[in-house]
Amino acid sequence: MIIDKVFSMKYIYTTLTMLCVLTANAQRKPIESRVDSVLTLMSLEEKVGQMNQYNGFWNATGPAPAGGDAATKYQHLRNGWVGSVLNVQGVEEVRAMQRVAVEETRLGIPLIFACDVIHGYKTLSPIPLAEAASWNLDAIEKSARNAAEEATAHGLNWTFAPMVDISRDPRWGRMMEGAGEDTYLGARVASARVQGFQGSDLSAPNTMAACAKHFAGYGFVEAGRDYNTVDVSAYTLQNVIFPPFQAAVEAGAATFMNAFNTMNGIPATGNQALIETLKETWGFQGVLVSDWGSISEMQAHGFSRNLSEATAQAANARCDIDMESLAYVYHLADLVRKGVVAQARVDDAVRRVLRLKFQLGLMDDPYKYCQNPGEWTPSSSPWAEDAQNLAEESAVLLKNKGILPIVKGQRIALIGPMAAEKNSPLGNWRVSSEDHTAISLQEGLRSVKGFKSLDVAAGPVFLTGAINFPTEASINTSDTAGLFQAVRSASAADVAILAVGEHGFQSGEGRSRLSLHLPGLQELLIREVLKVQPHVVLVVYAGRPFILPEDIQAQVEGILFAWQPGTMGGPAIANLLMGRRSPSGRLPVTFPRSEAQIPLYYGAYNTGRPGPISEVFWSHYGDGPNTPQYPFGYGLTYSTVSYSKTELVTLEDGTLALNATVSNTGKVEVDEVVQVYMRDHHSAYGVRPLKQLIDFRRIAIKAGETKSFTFILEMDQLSVTDAQGEKHVEPGIFSFWIAPNSVEGVPATMDWKIE
Ligand code: BGC
């Protein structure tokens, strides 16, 4: 693109100075002094430009703000008023835009290229919630590593991941993007993902900056409705919501993102107290980016009178980059001139952005992330094998009355909307991938073989319209065409595999649901099949827990929960069904019996009236149980595994440890997720949950083998954080379980006194 530029003496002088700065910089001065040298050259507008982020093409991952057409954005880019972009990808596109920034702006500062690389770039791993169900931190880290390798080869250097929001409400569609309901598991996964994306060297051409989001509390939107109000106590914030964010800071996350919601009545993007915790208390030195339009949205929240006020509030709260509000670019320089926002505040933000550019190596080589991406399809890429492994390790066997693994040589009817589906298994958050690139279950089964025949019938049509990232799913609830054929196929088979679920585009951002039941006519389909075929296995695809009516729950012989398993879901699930591998996933989130129980999570407090007692005066429902359908941590294997009683021992050096033995009493090797829970029975700093995960280990155990486990207790695991953020370890009664899930196990209890 040719642009007119007035070559004034000042321009030539500054360009030469910039060249000298970059050359000197290339001689590896410490980053801080390199940042300072650049900063001194910048005008106020150019500084504000580093705080402005634009989307590369409209409507990609959020609604378009008024007044930001492409021509204007390009002009802003040439003016040096843009510091980073999102959703520009592909080596050619990135090079073309980077060239404008480097060659046509006064200072030639390169752009950062950001994108939501959530669970893969084109080769998709299972959705993040599914990955968490593997409890395999090495595999999760590797998955992020792989995603970074593929994304950086396409020009990207900043991902808006991981989402580390704890969520206890499966109505919220974004539960799929996190690690579930548990703070400890969430913190471990957050750290693994940050390390995976960033590696040990951010400047390497195959690592990218991570972004811990959404700071903070977004997972607690009221009623599970996306973008809704959040109203949580400071105690919950400290003990439940913050720890995964703190883990991300400790793991070195280069960036954070504000949440859309309010916290204590103040939108997170303009919330000084919240951001002070991040930048002061935790000492976060990185970049804080707003969420898409979240500065502008402070007007709709009723916090800001107009965009100028929102700009001042966000900048003064220390939000460093404005993503798609067009707030900073139009208002911030004026506000600095008027003294409403301090120049030092802008300088601090720009320093953070420039520092990141140096850390990424962009200041030395603006095109370093434009490697050759290679010629492969997602399912034949170098990352496909890892993606398949995680799809296998994340599927959770919920029920098995001897039907799985499927006996060889049988006639199989594969029925349901997900049977041949190649798009839905990719999930929702995959802006860079191509549609329909998943290997379907049908294809997977055909490649794995082991059956006499495979008859495939979709059943009633599932969707009544096109579905994609920004459109609402329209589901067929009346047209039963296809039902008869599916039932006939089931009756002619020895076993029916029903591949059901919600569409990948029914979970994710903006996709809250009132009902967790299988959408459309799927329950009807299952019931009709059950009338002619007793041997039914459900394979359920979903981005959140689902609810199955009791009659279906009781009659089906097996349930394998596959989540949205990604590119390689087909062969992965086929391997599990046909017994090539035992399922090993464990639920990272509680499955309720009814939506009315939500929020339902294992780490609840006891209440003052836990009951049960004969009168009604205890904490319960008169018309149904308190208990979940499937608890946190739950999952079966193709073997039987037994746990000894948990023992509490004092080691020679005085440290406390927990011991237990775990025996594989069945006939096949399995991967067991050994979980450690604790209860602190009394805490004057704040009541503690009935159970709290404090450690876990995923380990292979051969048939007939017994393994001993020792878990050392760290004082930090016994601590409680008060509402002000102070940690305390208080003597008292503690119970510990080494157990297969959050409801089983025999505890060891100690009365810990300090003499
Ligand atoms: C989401 C973020 C995402 C951003 C950019 C927003 O709507 O909440 O998680 O990173 O869009 O795509």
Does residue 214 surpass a pLDDT of 70? yes
Q: What is the mean pLDDT of residues 347-364?
A: 98
Q: Who lines ligand 1 at CB under 6 A? A: 61-62, 86, 116, 160, 213, 291-292, 509
Which atom of ligand 1 lies closest to the CA of 218?
Answer: 8
Let me know: does 500 contact 526? Beta carbons within 8 Å.
yes
Does residue 555 surpass a pLDDT of 80? yes
Q: What is the mean pLDDT of residues 259-282?
A: 98
In this structure, the residue with its CA closest to atom 6 of ligand 1 is 292
Give the number of residues written for the chain.
Answer: 755
The owner of tokens 């471990």 is: 188
CA of 263 relative to ligand 1 center, distance in Å = 18
Of 44, 52, 107, 42, the C-alpha closest to 81 is 52
Pick from 88, 116, 261, 512 the residue to mutate for probing ligand 1's pocket: most ligand atoms within 8 Å of its CB. Answer: 116
Question: CA-CA distance, 508 to 304, in Å (whole number)?
Answer: 28
Does residue 748 surpass a pLDDT of 60? yes
Which atom of ligand 1 lies closest to the CA of 163?
Answer: 9
pTM here is 0.95
Q: How much is the mean pLDDT over the chain?
A: 94
Q: What is the pLDDT of residue 375?
A: 79
In this structure, the residue with its CA closest to atom 8 of ligand 1 is 291
pLDDT digits (tens, 9 = 90+) for 663-674: 999 999 999 999
Pick from 54, 156, 291 the residue to mutate for probing ligand 1's pocket: most ligand atoms within 8 Å of its CB. Answer: 291
Residue 373 binned pLDDT confidence (cut-offs 50, 70, 90)? confident
pLDDT digits (tens, 9 = 90+) for 606-659: 999 999 999 999 999 999 999 999 999 999 999 999 999 999 999 999 899 999
Sign of the dihedral defined by the CA atoms of residues 314, 320, 326, 330, in that order: positive
Does residue 504 surpass a pLDDT of 90? yes
Residue 65 binned pLDDT confidence (cut-offs 50, 70, 90)? low
Q: What is the mean pLDDT of residues 282-305?
A: 98
Q: What is the pLDDT of residue 628?
A: 98
Q: Which residue has the higher pLDDT, 520 or 73?
A: 520
Q: What is the pLDDT of residue 647?
A: 97
CA of 243 relative to ligand 1 center, distance in Å = 21
Q: What is the DSSP string of 389-454?
A: HHHHHH-EEEEESS--SPPTT-EEEEESTTSS-SSGGG-S--TTSPTT-SPPHHHHHHHH--SSEE
- Cα–Cα distances (Å) from 419 to 426, 492, 569, in that order, read 14, 17, 11
Residue type for position 395: A
Kindly report the number of other CB atoms within 10 A of residue 199's CB atom. 17
C-alpha R_g of the chain:
27
Does residue 353 surpass a pLDDT of 70? yes
Q: What is the pLDDT of residue 655?
A: 92
Residue 371 binned pLDDT confidence (cut-offs 50, 70, 90)? confident
Residue 7 binned pLDDT confidence (cut-offs 50, 70, 90)? very low
CA of 293 relative to ligand 1 center, distance in Å = 9
Beta bridge partners of 287: 255
In terms of phi and psi (left: phi > 0; alpha: psi -120 to 50; beta: otherwise), the region of 90 is: left
Does residue 531 surpass a pLDDT of 50? yes
CA of 429 relative to ligand 1 center, distance in Å = 10
Does residue 2 surpass a pLDDT of 90? no
Listed in sequence order, the residues at least 6 apart from 419 whose beta carbon sits closer than 8 Å to its beta carbon are: 440, 441, 442, 456, 457, 458, 497, 499
Does residue 17 surpass a pLDDT of 70? no
Least confident of 56-65, 125-134, 739-748: 56-65
CA of 294 relative to ligand 1 center, distance in Å = 10
What tokens appear for 245 in the block?
């964010």
Which atom of ligand 1 lies closest to the CA of 161?
Answer: 10
Which atom of ligand 1 lies closest to the CA of 260?
Answer: 8
Q: Does the annotation mark 231 as catalytic?
A: no
Pick from 118, 221, 292, 431 the residue to mutate for probing ligand 1's pocket: most ligand atoms within 8 Å of its CB. Answer: 292
In this structure, the residue with its CA closest to atom 12 of ligand 1 is 61
Q: What is the mean pLDDT of residues 32-42?
A: 97
The owner of tokens 């507008």 is: 45
CA of 128 relative to ligand 1 center, distance in Å = 15
CA of 84 relative to ligand 1 center, distance in Å = 15
Phi, psi at 354, each rounded to 5° = -65, -40
Active-site residue, from 165, 169, 182, 291: 291
CA of 61 relative to ligand 1 center, distance in Å = 6
Question: CA-CA distance, 594 to 624, in Å (whole number)?
Answer: 9
Q: What is the mean pLDDT of residues 586-600?
A: 98
Q: What is the mean pLDDT of residues 27-42?
A: 90
Does residue 25 surpass a pLDDT of 70? no
Q: What is the DSSP string of 43-103?
A: -HHHHHHHTEEEESSTTSSSPPPTT--HHHHHHHHHHT---EEES--SHHHHHHHHHIIII
Phi, psi at 389, each rounded to 5° = -60, -45
pLDDT digits (tens, 9 = 90+) for 82-104: 999 999 988 988 998 999 999 99
Which atom of ligand 1 lies closest to the CA of 60?
Answer: 12
Question: CA-CA distance, 345 to 347, in Å (whole number)?
Answer: 5
What tokens appear for 95 in the block?
């090079």
In this structure, the residue with its CA closest to atom 10 of ligand 1 is 160
Does residue 69 surpass a pLDDT of 90? no
CA of 292 relative to ligand 1 center, distance in Å = 6
Q: What is the pLDDT of residue 19?
A: 47
Share of the chain above pLDDT 90, in %: 90
Residue 16 binned pLDDT confidence (cut-offs 50, 70, 90)? very low
Q: What is the mean pLDDT of residues 112-129?
A: 97
Q: What is the pLDDT of residue 57?
A: 56
**In Å, how far from its chain's centre is CA 35?**
32
Residue 8 binned pLDDT confidence (cut-offs 50, 70, 90)? very low
Share of the chain above pLDDT 70, in %: 95
- Structural domains in the chain? 388-597 (3.40.50.1700), 641-752 (2.60.40.10)
Question: CA-CA distance, 262 to 142, in Å (whole number)?
Answer: 34
Which atom of ligand 1 lies closest to the CA of 214?
Answer: 9
Q: What is the pLDDT of residue 372?
A: 72
Does residue 266 surpass a pLDDT of 60? yes
Q: What is the pLDDT of residue 74?
A: 86
pLDDT digits (tens, 9 = 90+) for 544-554: 999 999 999 99
What tokens appear for 705 in the block?
């083998």
Q: What is the mean pLDDT of residues 535-561?
A: 98
Q: What is the pLDDT of residue 62?
A: 53
pLDDT digits (tens, 9 = 90+) for 384-427: 999 999 999 999 999 999 999 999 999 999 999 999 999 999 99
Pick from 160, 211, 228 the residue to mutate for probing ligand 1's pocket: most ligand atoms within 8 Å of its CB. Answer: 160
Does residue 4 surpass a pLDDT of 80? no
3-class SS shares of the chain: helix, strand, coil, % to 5? 35, 20, 50
In this structure, the residue with its CA closest to atom 2 of ligand 1 is 291
pLDDT digits (tens, 9 = 90+) for 220-265: 999 999 999 999 999 999 999 999 999 999 999 999 999 999 999 9
Listed in sequence order, the residues at least 6 apart from 303 whose beta carbon sits closer than 8 Å to its beta carbon are: 262, 266, 267, 270, 310, 313
In this structure, the residue with its CA closest to atom 11 of ligand 1 is 292
Which atom of ligand 1 lies closest to the CA of 431?
Answer: 12
